[in-house]
Amino acid sequence: MKKLLIVESPAKIKTIGKFLGKDFKIMSTMGHVKDLPENRIGVTLDDSIDIEYVILENKEKTVAEICKAAANSEEIYLAPDPDREGEIIAWHIDQEIEKTVKDSTLIHRISFNEITKDAILDAIAHPSVVDVKKVAAQQARRVLDRWVGYEVSPILWKRIAKGLSAGRVQSVALRLICEREEAIRNFKPEEYWSITGLFAHMDGSIQAELAQIGKKKAEIGNKKLADETVAKIKEETFVIDSVVDKKRIKNPLPPFITSTLQQAAFNRLGFTVKKTMQLAQQLYEGIPLEDKNTPIALITYMRTDSIRIAESAISHVRSFISSNFDKKYLPSKGNVYTKKSGKAQDAHEAIRPIDINMTPEKVAKYISKDAARLYELIWKRFVACQMESAEYAQRQVTIKGGQFVFKVTGSTLLFDGFLHVYAADEDEKEEKIVLPGELKEKDALGLKTVTPKQHFTQPPPKYTEASLVKEMEKEGIGRPSTYATILQTIQTRSYTTLDPKKRFTPTELGMTVNKLLVSNLPDIMNVKFTAHLEEDLDKIAQGELERDKLLREFYSTFSKDLKAFAGDDGKKIAEPTSIKCPQCKKGQLVIRFGKAGEFLGCNNFPQCNFTSNFKRNQAGEIELVAAPEPVVLEQTCPQCGKPLRRLVGRFGPFIACSGYPECKYIHRETASFICPLCKKGQIIKRRWKGGTLWGCNQYPACQFAIFGDIEEIPCPECKTPYLIKKIDKEGNVTLSCGQKGCSYKKILSHQANNNGNDIKH
């Protein structure tokens, strides 16, 4: 009999298999196997809190195969990821296995922070049991999210539009974005002036900025005052008032945790948070290098908020630094880091390379360009964290003439230390100021030029993915494993968009949803309240708080707010504007929400039926957008003979008869093959709010549909008359067979679409 090891991701099977050999069978749960039911809340709140779990729709076969293998195994090791989500997966699969394995002592929980032979064998040698405290913490989080999602969302459907959702954490993240947008819209720029003097010294020139007038800070608010000040400065004689020299030490940055990796990858590499986590997952689970059949794990677990480093890892990297760098770069002892906030769960190490000798240069030739760039970032940050500090010579020069005081600070890098490997972001942006070498107090200076410059105060910046993650971490909202999902959700729900500079802008829908939730559910939308809940979840995981106590306290307040929210008049939200209706000249325009999105309408509807699209300018002011005029085409309607015309509807452009409403003909793109399901209908292209679909014209009698685009190329394997076409962000085209049971797929590069490779799964 073999031993069975169960992991969460199938990508780990090959990586771990090479360490364990033929004695072990390795299987994957492929993520969660059980969850709350989709069509009901699944949580009963009576004398006890009961949670209903069901096997996920597509996981029955997976669970059955694992249970069958477990029944014939001498030992079973549960090895999902070492976090709360992994713990609940282990608990769920344990429940199912115990139905077929009579002796529960054969079932063990193991976890490891890195996928190496030593780590795997050590975990097997020291098995444990499922941590029910971690399970309880995950259950509490899941129940909280289910209550908010399932009980708040229907109210949003009634008050705003169908299909909206609320989330315990995502809604607070949305609030941060909306409040920042409000601050930007309400911002009033203020004028101010700076004055820069260029002074001549026997050893060169010194450029300094006016800092003080008398004993007060120089504050110049308009051109008149700036010109008057410049005139007075020109009358003065200047000398060096003081020269202060000191050394400045810059310490190395700690190794990456999830949030800092996401921020650095966004700022330096331009990666979205989602992309960073996908690439990090690959690096953690293993990627084939020289041997295409043997994946190698390159980094430790990537979901962590701990900056702790194993002593063995410190020893290895110090040895590497000693062998590859001058001895001056190696400190006398290893650098130890502790997180200041004290909120780190510290279940895992920081993110670091598993083998420091696996340099980015060695790895880059075998893995994708983006994976190599992320690995290089992680590798360099980790090496740098165990190097000496950088040292600067800093000189501040004060120049005085009458009541005017100018100051400038110059900085010279004496020793680069850790910057030799990894420069901090601020170092890359820092403007280098070079001062003459021989400067002494009382040295006379000649005023060469004095330059006033107008400035305006700037509004707070919009959030990027990096700065939003930083803010959520600072406020204690969410956890490392949730950041990517939160950012993805607020975009897919159309609550926010990203501008060309990848900055979040809330949509009208997002602003309205946020306003409604903040006014009706003050607790769940409160940043501090949400952060406190995260701390309580940590306490449950540590055994310091009971799961049900937290849930009851939350629901007690939540249910009261919810009852008042649901009991409102139920009218659809219409956001008022200050714009008078251009049609009836009496009503005011309001923002309404329809199936195709937001639009302006008159508040005198139905007496006045004026509607218009709109946009906001940079100041946040609403501007009406005229609908494009229909374009008359040369083709004629096949039903009535009148000209066809191209129009723009709620789902995009379409072609229809100009004789509407008498003739309701709409041109449809038609496929050349008949419906594969009913064998008689035509397949026509339709537009809907989710994109395009090809469906049978016999609908609703026949419900055949293909969502997305198609190519009328027969499948080479099963002869289905079409292939489904998908295009990714890089422009690569994938053609795949939509027939159940057929795995044909062809990938075409966007650079050479004729050189695709057939892939069999």
The token pair at 61 is: 């076969």
Count of residues for the chain? 761
Distance CA 669, CA 693 (A): 11
Instruction: Quickly list H helices, 398-464.
Output: 425-429
The neighbour count for residue 689, using CB atoms within 10 Å, is 12
The token pair at 705 is: 């549909």
The token pair at 47 is: 């004398």
Distance CA 152, CA 308 (A): 40
Distance CA 331, CA 618 (A): 51
User: What separation in angstroms does the CA of 228 have from each of 93, 451, 644, 731?
Assistant: 79, 12, 70, 59
Q: 322 by DSSP, 3-state: which?
A: helix
Q: What residues pair up with 212 in beta bridges, in sequence order?
A: 217, 405
Q: What share of the chain is helix, strand, coil (3-state, %, to 5)?
A: 35, 25, 40
Distance CA 273, CA 470 (A): 12
HSE-up of residue 290 (Cα within 13 Å, Cβ side):
2
The C-alpha angle 527, 528, 532, rounded to 5 degrees, equals: 120
Distance CA 242, CA 208 (A): 13
Going by the DSSP 8-state scheme, the letter that residue 417 receives in this structure is G
- Tokens 């962000």 — which residue? 729
Candidate list 301, 375, 555, 744, residue with the active-site label = 301
Distance CA 178, CA 495 (A): 10
Q: Which residues, other chains included, contact 215 with Cβ-Cβ below 8 Å and sequence gap of 6+?
A: none
Question: Which among 404, 474, 66 has a CA at the least distance from the CA of 231?
Answer: 404
The neighbour count for residue 403, using CB atoms within 10 Å, is 13
Question: Which among 245, 254, 306 has a CA at the least distance from the CA of 418?
Answer: 254
Q: What residues pair up with 532 in beta bridges, in sequence order?
A: none
Do 192 and 219 touch, CB atoms closer than 8 A?
Answer: yes
Active site residue 366: no
Instruction: Quickly list H helices, 160-272.
Output: 170-186, 223-234, 258-264
Q: How is 41-90 classified by DSSP, letter by letter?
A: --EEESSSEEE--EE-TT-HHHHHHHHHHHHT-S-EEEE--SSHHHHHHH
Distance CA 535, CA 558 (A): 18
The neighbour count for residue 124, using CB atoms within 10 Å, is 19
Distance CA 633, CA 471 (A): 53
Distance CA 175, CA 472 (A): 11
Do 163 and 172 touch, CB atoms closer than 8 A?
Answer: no
Q: What residues pair up with 217 in beta bridges, in sequence order?
A: 212
Q: Report strand pairing: 3-7 vs 24-28.
A: parallel
Do 78 and 6 touch, CB atoms closer than 8 A?
Answer: yes
Q: Is 452 exposed, middle or buried (0-12, 13-18, 19+ CB in 10 A)?
A: middle
- Tokens 């799964």 — which residue? 761
Active-site residues, by number, are: 301
